Chains A and B, each alone.
Chain A
């Protein structure tokens, strides 16, 4: 019994060190980070319209669209579809997404569509799409917003994040759409 009492005391001290002092130290340091460690936000006219790295739903035709999401971009949770690669129902869903995308972009060939724009991400909150997925939407956006294709194309080009040494190229959809609203 004396032993259990010792272990309880040891546990208490370790809890204080590892689960109180350690997180409070990190919390203290986080006050120096962007938005005091509450997650970096995107502001438009002083109003928060989103978190920079949390994807949001864009389904209106005058915005660039992001990837499909298994949680419909509700960031109160997060999940992937967890569909296996050979699942027939899942493959039908992909086929439907391709068809829908082609209807919205009648000027495209199937082989222009990159796979990321018809598949769901791991988190359901992916803030990014591949540059190709942004470029193929340019014509639609230009028509919807009565802008010249050239201007929209240049905007996307300026928002492409290309890795210098390691990584993958991507476009942040929210950032792109915020910049799109500012074109006029």
Chain B
């Protein structure tokens, strides 16, 4: 018990301690200062840009940034979609796994493109090794796109008036080569020596000690799992994700994977401070996020350590805490901690099954994704938080009766409209999607093409918990998270297509919004700070932002949470 809690706390603190110098490094990468990896990657990048015919030194305005960002994503989508459709007859398929159905390929390609990694298949039987490698490519580039967008917003926040906001391709390739690739190599090596396989051989058939014959899936997993966490992607190589012993062999590998997923989201916030030379601002932002995170993680760890009250009633010993869906080598404390870490940042990898978590934990996991701005995914976490800052500046401005300003730029109607739209989009997609699915489930509608059988058939649990399964799926999609209440029968046209659409909208609009706001602000006249300026690097402003987040998340989502996990909590009492 004590060794369990000590593990949780030390991993968290270690992640913060490493993130501060790493944030400084990220800031250096984007200001163009010299870094350690320049001698290796400068020539490679020059070579790639020259042969591709891309001018990576040309300064772009925000519209050009978005155009480049959306075009590369479009190309990657089709590339991946066709590989998945025809994987069965392509190379590197030792287990002879079949082609994906079009709706599943659509969902999978989008889901990896948008850094979500919702997986409606199981890796062992659903993908060839070629497809795994292609999805791994998307894990790199989708994270790099998020970081590049955040870098552009950083650039916009400088104290000057300009349309020249850096080059998208430059930010993108630097995110890949200077940040994601070196870290992934490091993590992959740690995993390989912890016991994660890295082989291109297919399934092994063995006779067990007791004499049964079983197959054991293997594969080039270590490389995949490294970037899955470094890039906050979360898509597992195996079906059970990081609960699978090969994917996460020991307490040590578990600590490495936790650290790996927390590192960049933490470091991006510190990078902001170093980049703008406004370290106090980044500490305020980090403080708000950390308070939010702790408010979610503490109740979760406590409820998991207390175990399932319904099982306690049966009279057995539950001193180790809730164990359904959890692995003995991790235990409930670190599993609870992981479940919140993976949902506040948009990783979505799991080391325990969230569907079997206690209702309090389920509530907290959902809230983490509903807010989606405490740390957040690679780059996009900062973009989401930026929206809340704009809203908080606006509301504070109204309260004191002044024109709202943020870092010397006036926030006017256009920016606030965009921010409000993005803030409303998230609950709209989640609640409308859940309402649609619940309507079918409540009426037990025959779904025809969309689902074989009646709609209740996609639920793995009855009652309130069943409702939570549907709510979780849409929340996870809209937060681009990718974890799931995996009991939900989601590999069918209904879920593949509806969640695919939610994924697309909730990835690109929340990138376009903040990039547009930041671009518009960068173009405005810079007003030097005066006595009347609302200071954004103060505790009071931090409280203000927290209040805005709490009000938006609580008011929009409380009714849905009350129908799902909260109702279940009270029935279990």
Spell out A's residues near B (CB within 8 Å): 2-11, 13-15, 17-20, 22-23, 25-27, 29-30, 33-34, 36-40, 44, 48-60, 63, 67, 73-88, 90-91, 94-95, 98, 110-116, 118-130, 132, 163-168, 170, 174, 177-178, 181
Whether B326 sits at the interface, judged by CB under 8 Å, is: yes
Contacts of A20 in B (CB 8 A): 133
Spell out B's residues near A (CB within 8 Å): 3-4, 6-7, 10, 44, 48-49, 51-54, 71-72, 75-76, 79, 122, 124-125, 133-134, 136-137, 140-141, 169, 173, 176-177, 181, 184-185, 188-189, 192-193, 195, 197-201, 203-204, 206-210, 212, 214-218, 220, 222-224, 226, 238-240, 243-246, 249-251, 255, 307-308, 310-311, 314-331, 350-353, 355-359, 460-465, 468, 485-487, 568, 571-572
Contacts of B210 in A (CB 8 A): 56-60, 63, 177
Smallest CB–CB gap between B548 and chain A, Å? 33
* 5 nearest A-B pairs in the assembled complex, by CB-CB distance: A166-B7, A82-B487, A122-B243, A84-B465, A80-B353
Q: With A10-B72, A11-B75 in contact, is A86–B568 under 8 Å at CB?
A: yes
Whole-angstrom CA separation of A118 from B323 in the bound complex = 9
Q: Could you list some 28 contacts between A and B, CB below 8 A?
A: A10-B48, A10-B49, A19-B137, A23-B223, A30-B197, A33-B198, A39-B195, A44-B209, A56-B209, A78-B244, A79-B240, A80-B243, A80-B355, A80-B486, A84-B568, A85-B568, A98-B314, A110-B316, A116-B323, A118-B316, A119-B323, A121-B327, A121-B328, A122-B327, A122-B353, A167-B4, A168-B329, A168-B331
Closest A residue to B4 by beta carbon equals A168
- Other-chain contact of A121, B311, B326, B568 (Cβ < 8 Å): B326
Beyond A15-B134, A120-B325, 6 additional pairs, beta carbon < 8 A: A13-B48, A56-B212, A78-B243, A87-B465, A115-B311, A132-B317
Whole-angstrom CA separation of A2 from B245 in the bound complex = 47
Docked-complex contact B240 and A78, CB < 8 angstroms: yes
Q: With A81-B325, A118-B316 in contact, is A49–B310 under 8 Å at CB?
A: no
Contacts of B169 in A (CB 8 A): 10
Contacts of B255 in A (CB 8 A): 166
Whole-angstrom CA separation of A111 from B310 in the bound complex = 15
Docked-complex contact A50 and B209, CB < 8 angstroms: yes
Contacts of A166 in B (CB 8 A): 3-4, 6-7, 10, 251, 255
Closest B residue to A102 by beta carbon equals B316
Smallest CB–CB gap between A111 and chain B, Å? 6
Whole-angstrom CA separation of A86 from B468 in the bound complex = 12
Contacts of B322 in A (CB 8 A): 85, 115
Contacts of A2 in B (CB 8 A): 53
Closest A residue to B75 by beta carbon equals A7
Docked-complex contact B192 and A29, CB < 8 angstroms: yes
Closest A residue to B41 by beta carbon equals A17
Q: With A23-B136, A126-B245 in contact, is A6–B209 under 8 Å at CB?
A: no
Whole-angstrom CA separation of A119 from B560 in the bound complex = 29
Smallest CB–CB gap between A31 and chain B, Å? 9
Point out which of A7, A36, A50, A123 has the most chain B C-beta atoms below 10 A from its C-beta.
A123
Docked-complex contact A26 and B214, CB < 8 angstroms: no
Whole-angstrom CA separation of A168 from B331 in the bound complex = 6
Q: With A77-B125, A114-B320, A177-B209 in contact, is A18–B465 under 8 Å at CB?
A: no
Contacts of A125 in B (CB 8 A): 240, 244-245
Smallest CB–CB gap between B63 and chain A, Å? 14
Contacts of A115 in B (CB 8 A): 307, 311, 316-318, 320-323
Closest B residue to A170 by beta carbon equals B328
Docked-complex contact A3 and B71, CB < 8 angstroms: yes
Docked-complex contact A26 and B308, CB < 8 angstroms: no
Contacts of B216 in A (CB 8 A): 39, 51, 54, 75-76
Contacts of A119 in B (CB 8 A): 311, 323-325
Contacts of B53 in A (CB 8 A): 2, 5-6, 9
Docked-complex contact B209 and A174, CB < 8 angstroms: yes
